[in-house]
Amino acid sequence: MDETIGDSGHTLEQLSAYFDAGRVPRIAAIEEDAECRAVLASMERLSRLTREMTDEDARPVDAPWVERVLSVVRSEVRAGRDLPIRAIDERTETTVTEGALRELVRRAGDGVEGVLVGRVALRLDDGALDVRLTLGVRFGAPMRTRADEVRAAVHAALAPHTPAPLRQVDVVVDDVFEIEE
């Protein structure tokens, strides 16, 4: 049996079909679940990138590559640990989940042209947060430039929301994707 996403009771394949149908009719169990919304947001970014690539070259995007990306998204969408954020008032407690931070990283990185974020790892150590992410970069795009742009975008998006100072953002280009012939 396929694993369901969040508390929605729906599998990744069902979310994919829902996304392909334009999210109509609206399914409240999906739309109200944070993990499902994160997966749908990743599907939207992936869809936008593949449309851009297909429009440019009029050829389909490598299907196995798309499946690998969705597999990573599925594995990382879980909320994970609650990380405490320094409270303004001692009577309150505020936390952010690892899943929420990973989604911020993913959105920032995917916002860079010709890039799609793969894995995102967060490590809270010695009172500082380290981020390591992998990227797929479109064939022909300058890898070092794209990695630097992703690093800057992730830092800008994540720094205001982290439970600890952001010490470093490591970017690893581990895939190059291209249009199928």
Give 117-134 pLDDT, tens digit per residue. Answer: 888 898 988 889 999 999
Return the number of other C-beta atoms located less than 10 Å from residue 175's C-beta.
Answer: 14
Residue position matching structure tokens 């997966």:
39
Predicted TM-score (pTM) of the model is 0.62
Q: Give the model's confidence band at 181: pLDDT under 50 very low, under 70 low, under 90 confident, else very high.
A: very low
Looking at residue 91, its pLDDT comes to 78
Q: Is the dihedral of CA 60, 48, 25, 101 positive or negative?
A: positive
The identity of residue 161, as a single letter, is H
Whether the per-residue pLDDT at 172 is higher than 60: the answer is yes
Pairwise pLDDT comparison (80 vs 107), residue with the higher score: 107
Number of structural domains found in the chain: 1
β strands within 20-149, DSSP E: 82-85, 94-97, 115-125, 128-138
The CATH number that applies at residue 9 is 3.30.70.1350
Range of the domain at 165: 4-177
Looking at residue 133, its pLDDT comes to 94
Q: Could you give the CA distance from residue 60 to residue 150 in angstroms, rounded to a whole number?
A: 25
In sequence order, what are the residues at sequence separation of 6 or more whose Cβ sits closer than 8 angstroms to the Cβ of residue 100?
34, 79, 161
Which of the residue ranges 9-13, 52-56, 75-79, 155-159 has the most confident prediction, judged by mean pLDDT?
Answer: 155-159
